[in-house]
Structure 1
Amino acid sequence: MADPRGFLKSGREVPQRRPVDVRIRDWREVYEEQEFSSLQKQAGRCMDCGIPFCHQGCPLGNLIPEWNDLIWRNQKVDAIERLHATNNFPEFTGRLCPAPCETACVLGINQDPVTIKQVELRTIEEAFNSGNVRPMQPDRMTGKTIAVIGSGPAGLAAAQQLTRAGHTVAVY
């Protein structure tokens, strides 16, 4: 998976923050957009550990080494499908998650860890920009209506999964 020597070739690179005096005048992202080639280098730093502690450190159980490898190989569509397999809202978690996966990254023992959070965020942004994020319609509707109480991340994820299973969902 990925580049077996990627962590030796490239150091950790995170996007630069936009200046505060510019940020307070708009609602755009705090960080500058990272070039995809730079992102591929960062994904290539993933060592494909025998036991991927990053995967265990992620509260969602994201398949981090797998989508790092797919990004490194420029297989963007497969990467977004793999990301969506375990994460209903990578566009949220890529911005808000404190990234315990990076703390658990084995590379972090001797070097700076892989920029997992940034790879996740840039992967979903790239997918949105290229039209690779599409609704997943159910094969058939069950005719059942289910109420989900709560419109936080868990409630919305439950509603999304129930809709994919063919139920009509009302979120309260």
Structure 2
Amino acid sequence: MPDPNGFLRYDRRLPARRPVPVRISDWREVYPPAGEELVREQATRCMDCGIPFCHDGCPLGNRIPDWNDLVRTGNWDAAVESLHATNNFPEFTGRLCPAPCEAACVLGLGGQQPVTIKQVEVEIANAAVARDGLRPRPASAPTGRSVAVVGSGPAGLAAAQQLARAGHTVTVYERDDAIGGLLRYGIPDFKLEKQHVDRRVAQLTAEGVRFRAGVEVGVDVTAAQLRAEHDAVLLACGALQGRDTPGT
């Protein structure tokens, strides 16, 4: 049972940004990790609404009220499991997502400040790293099938992880010289330090995913070769060319 008065007892609060004189001396993330007391306080503001619009606002369908209440009660291990049930890489989304879930939060719709869902999410992800170091979860038995994934951005990595955990042999092809796609080359360190990407690549490698960086599909290897060598090919190469929107 959630705390029905949590949003009345606690105001919305976020951790203070690192001081500007400190931030300009490096490229590290702007926000430091939040303390457990602050995170549990903010999670307590979630009312576990009868109709939680945050579910609809989240493109992943994250179980937001569930893991908010698990954090409120200090059940971090269960919160980690609940969050990873719908999100392979919450440490990415918790730092980068524009948080449409917060815009959909019933508290905000009712004239209050919405729950700091994004901050709670990233702190659950931090807890996962601190508690088990993102333990690899290899498949119990191979299927004998192989899949080529073209592109090592967030979509390619998530697909590779799910396929590998299902028992398939997965090879990820990346044209750049390091794995990560947009996460590595399109997002500055002050929003996403690359240790988070490296940690997930190490986890996927331990789960059996093979990575081939510096290989451009269509140049170094043809689509016909991929079709011949694998049972399936997944294209996760992203939008490589920008486009303008029509003026109004």
Aligned twin of 1:7: 7
Are the counterparts in 2 of residues 2 and 73 from structure 1 also a CA contact under 8 Å? no
Unaligned runs of 5+ in 1: none
Output the CA distance in 2 between the equivalents of 1:25 and 1:167.
Answer: 45
Output the CA distance in 2 between the equivalents of 1:117 and 1:59.
Answer: 13
**Which shifted more, 17-26 or 65-74?**
17-26
3-state DSSP of counterpart to 1:130: helix
Q: How many residues align?
A: 172
Q: How does 1:4-153 map to 2 (within 5 A)?
A: 4-109=4-109, 110-131=111-132, 133-153=134-154
Q: What TM-score, normalized by structure 1, do the two folds share?
A: 0.96
What do the CA deviations read for 1:1-20 (whole angstroms, capped 9, x no partner)? 33121111100001111122
Per the TM alignment, residue 61 of structure 1 is displaced from its structure 2 partner at its CA by 0.5
**Which shifted more, 92-101 or 30-39?**
30-39
Output the CA distance in 2 between the equivalents of 1:141 and 1:27.
Answer: 42
Aligned twin of 2:168: 167
User: Which has the greater radius of gyration?
Assistant: 2
Q: CA RMSD in A?
A: 1.1
Output the CA distance in 1 between the equivalents of 2:162 and 2:98.
Answer: 24
Output the CA distance in 2 between the equivalents of 1:2 and 1:39.
Answer: 15
Per the TM alignment, residue 132 of structure 1 is displaced from its structure 2 partner at its CA by 5.8
Unaligned runs of 5+ in 2: 174-248
**Which shifted more, 101-110 or 14-23?**
14-23
Output the CA distance in 1 between the equivalents of 2:128 and 2:55.
Answer: 22
Are the counterparts in 1 of residues 80 and 127 from structure 2 also a CA contact under 8 Å? no
Runs (4 or more) in structure 1 with deviation over 4 Å come to: none
Larger helix proportion, structure 1 or 2?
Answer: 1
Are the counterparts in 2 of residues 149 and 155 from structure 1 also a CA contact under 8 Å? yes
Q: Which has the higher contact order (CA 8 A, sep 6+)?
A: 1
Per the TM alignment, residue 170 of structure 1 is displaced from its structure 2 partner at its CA by 0.5
Q: Percent identity?
A: 64
